[in-house]
Structure 1
């Protein structure tokens, strides 16, 4: 079943996928190299670290594997890549392949900024991908992109802190009530001040994820693109978040947030927080920054109540051929290569992204180049993705997210009740949809 909505945490998830700076740019105006090969200009924002290294290695492997196509890699800075690609498409000189946001494929297809790939995609090709990912690349039942990588939200927990508190594996929280109980067992106070917090739901997860989790995996839109903001379960989810906020106090939350940093200052690594909701490839940061003896585990986001489902959210990226690319068939040949289980496994092994190809992720669970923790991460990713919802933006409401977030902010500031705020958001988004029909 297709679930459609947009998540505020997308910016955080894509931030983990977007790495720094790197390669020089090339011009795709000349589509043939001096030796007669078709030259493709491939744009992405992977410009430093493991992702840059592995994508450049993969491109070199592709170029050496055949003698008809030569791919050149062009790094484009995060935040610039999509505005630059739009300008290039308008000017008639687009890149040949580009990494794009998974949630907005339909917008680009409708605007004729992406190429219809249906004449190149073979029957059965879509079966190689997680179904909720493939659904995002279709517009009017035709594919305009191919899924590349994705993510899912989970909870990391500090095993040493759990052991010291006498909380064993059998006591790991599975429901919201259990999450509260365990979190408060892990709290440490000095007088009226918290020195450690067991868990706070809005650190790295948005209220929209908890609303989804509470409401059978449906967030602001259902699978028929009906607006489903003002529901009983979502009101309960916002009220539940307010209870956490009241328990710890806004002053405490603000004080601890001010101490948050990155790298070795990470509050999870430092022990400031015992459980932290995160994108699953947060493991990469732990490998880089945590001490060697730092021990952690990963659990699914607890369900609202037993049987309601461990629903989570994921974002991700796709490979597209921009409209006007000079040789779409060659572009698709490269995209297909990037989508093979072997190449996807190679990228995942270095990045700890969840790959779009199901077989690649299954292989990573037993990949001999990964240690026990790495294999555990992919085992959890594969299991969790069954409950992970991807959220393409409805064509009828491309700008609705700001309307929802405005009301959520009012709720969290105490200016509106959860019921009133979500009712107002429902009406505002319904009005937007009506205007765009």
Structure 2
């Protein structure tokens, strides 16, 4: 009982101390408040709003108007809303005019602040040291959002000259009806160049038609060489490295197809556009292209589209797959480089890229954007275009830009194609053609 009374007494004392402390604190606060109330208060300061001088940047694209006017103008409006001091003037240039216009504008010091170019176009400006280095302008954490291989494909002389915008990863589209007519499994498309040659024989023998039209224009043949395990140059691009057994075999592959009449004669004079025309006309069974070209087939030959299935990109023993990139560059002569880079990062962010990709069958350069269900899930009633999109997206993480920017690229490409054409026409052997190309490349690379 005594212990209980002592406990209650101690508890009462503790409660009294807490209460007293609280009262003391309240009194102190009251006194302090009174003191503060009697002290003259300083006048409130007005919030200082930083104003920025108005800036206008000029943005050039390649043949996106009028098809994508709503999208581009919408992105510009959103950017200007977030950056009220910046106005974007959009100028769309026809594809065939862009290279001439951009080079002329740089020479005359009237270049745009931002330009939409592919790596080979842009590399010509990089050769002139006319573009800002994005490794210096873009923070590392932002650079890491883009596919590493695609970002690095914009390097020239150790400097990154562009920000990747949108990508295209080629797929194999094939006419299942023609496969059936040739006695081939319509569910099994060729995966390698060797399998493609066997399909070409079967289709020619059983239908009299061609399996495919190899586009030897542009950089297509160079990409095929890399897929077949051929190294084009040494690391510093000063010496040709393709005069090897693999290089000679790659030349011989196309020589055999041509001399055995397994590919159209027009491959020596026409390019990818002819391949699209022949596919939608039912004259070839396979079209290797970006999924976006199925839109042309859908418009001009819906029956061919209905018979079309899609498979992964045909490749060589390396298993490498190519992706094509379109980039945004900022010329050094721009007086608003920071604003130009800011706009470039805005239009290429994940949200804006996914929105664009849902309008046209292209792919994003931001890796996380590929997680959007649009690239991984088919709609309830999928079209061949929907299926092609998923195939293309599924291989993007394993794809790369196979042909890096190279000085005097057009001269190199022309020298290689001329040698290949000579071999296909029987004017020289594959070995002689490779040797001729090697000598010309070494001469060009030494400039």
TM-score when scaled to structure 2?
A: 0.76
Structure 2 residue 131 is matched with structure 1 residue 114: yes
Aligned residue number for residue 184 of structure 1: 201
In 1, the alpha carbon distance for the partners of 2:392 and 2:267 equals 33
Q: Per the alignment, do residues 148 and 88 of structure 1 end up closer, same or farther by CA in structure 2, a change over 3 Å counting?
A: same
Give the conservation status (yes or no) of the 8 Å contact 2:306–2:384.
no
Q: Per the alignment, do residues 101 and 65 of structure 1 end up closer, same or farther by CA in structure 2, a change over 3 Å counting?
A: same
Q: Give matches, 1:189-200, under 5 Å.
A: 194=208, 196-200=209-213
Among residues 208, 212, 216, which one is paired with 2:222 in the alignment? 208
Could you give the per-residue CA deviations for residues 254-287 of structure 1, whole angstroms, max 9, x where no partner exists?
A: 49999x9879x93212321111222343223223
- The offset of 1:322, in angstroms, is 1.2
Structure 2 residue 171 is matched with structure 1 residue 160: no
Structure 2 residue 245 is matched with structure 1 residue 236: no
Aligned residue number for residue 138 of structure 1: 155
In 2, the alpha carbon distance for the partners of 1:140 and 1:262 equals 36
Among residues 60, 84, 96, which one is paired with 1:79 in the alignment? 96
Q: Give matches, 1:209-288, under 5 Å.
A: 209-215=223-229, 218-225=230-237, 226-248=239-261, 253-254=265-266, 266-288=277-299
Among residues 402, 412, 416, which one is paired with 1:404 in the alignment? 416
- The offset of 1:74, in angstroms, is 0.7
- The offset of 1:96, in angstroms, is 1.4
Q: Name stretches of at least 5 consecutive residues in structure 2 with no aligned partner.
A: 1-51
Aligned residue number for residue 431 of structure 1: 443
Give secondary structure in 2 for the equivalent of 1:430. Answer: helix
Structure 2 residue 362 is matched with structure 1 residue 350: no
| Root mean square deviation, CA, Å | 3.4
Aligned residue number for residue 318 of structure 1: 327
Give the conservation status (yes or no) of the 8 Å contact 1:365–1:376.
no
Among residues 153, 165, 172, which one is paired with 1:148 in the alignment? 165
Q: Which has the higher helix share?
A: 2
Among residues 55, 58, 73, which one is paired with 1:56 in the alignment? 73
Among residues 59, 76, 85, which one is paired with 1:42 in the alignment? 59
Give the conservation status (yes or no) of the 8 Å contact 1:212–1:234.
no
Q: Per the alignment, do residues 368 and 54 of structure 1 end up closer, same or farther by CA in structure 2, a change over 3 Å counting?
A: farther
Structure 2 residue 112 is matched with structure 1 residue 102: no
Who wins on radius of gyration, i.e. which is larger?
2
- The offset of 1:40, in angstroms, is 1.4
Give the conservation status (yes or no) of the 8 Å contact 1:183–1:198.
yes
In 1, the alpha carbon distance for the partners of 2:127 and 2:197 equals 45
Length, aligned pairs only: 389
In 2, the alpha carbon distance for the partners of 1:148 and 1:107 equals 19
- The offset of 1:404, in angstroms, is 1.8
Q: Mean alpha-carbon deviation: is it higher for 44-53 or for 267-276? A: 44-53
Aligned residue number for residue 332 of structure 1: 341
In 2, the alpha carbon distance for the partners of 1:405 and 1:338 equals 37
Q: Per the alignment, do residues 269 and 249 of structure 1 end up closer, same or farther by CA in structure 2, a change over 3 Å counting?
A: closer
- The offset of 1:110, in angstroms, is 4.3
Q: Per the alignment, do residues 86 and 166 of structure 1 end up closer, same or farther by CA in structure 2, a change over 3 Å counting?
A: closer
Greater RCO, 1 or 2 (C-alpha within 8 Å, sep 6+)? 1
In 2, the alpha carbon distance for the partners of 1:109 and 1:199 equals 36
- The offset of 1:164, in angstroms, is 4.7
- The offset of 1:299, in angstroms, is 2.3
Could you give the per-residue CA deviations for residues 11-45 of structure 1, whole angstroms, max 9, x where no partner exists?
A: xxxxxxxxxxxxxxxxxxxxxxxx96322111112
Give the conservation status (yes or no) of the 8 Å contact 2:175–2:307.
yes
Q: Per the alignment, do residues 423 and 134 of structure 1 end up closer, same or farther by CA in structure 2, a change over 3 Å counting?
A: same
Aligned residue number for residue 391 of structure 1: 403
Give the conservation status (yes or no) of the 8 Å contact 2:153–2:404.
yes
Among residues 368, 376, 380, which one is paired with 2:387 in the alignment? 376
Among residues 129, 134, 142, which one is paired with 2:146 in the alignment? 129
Structure 2 residue 365 is matched with structure 1 residue 365: no
Q: Name stretches of at least 5 consecutive residues in structure 1 with no aligned partner.
A: 1-34
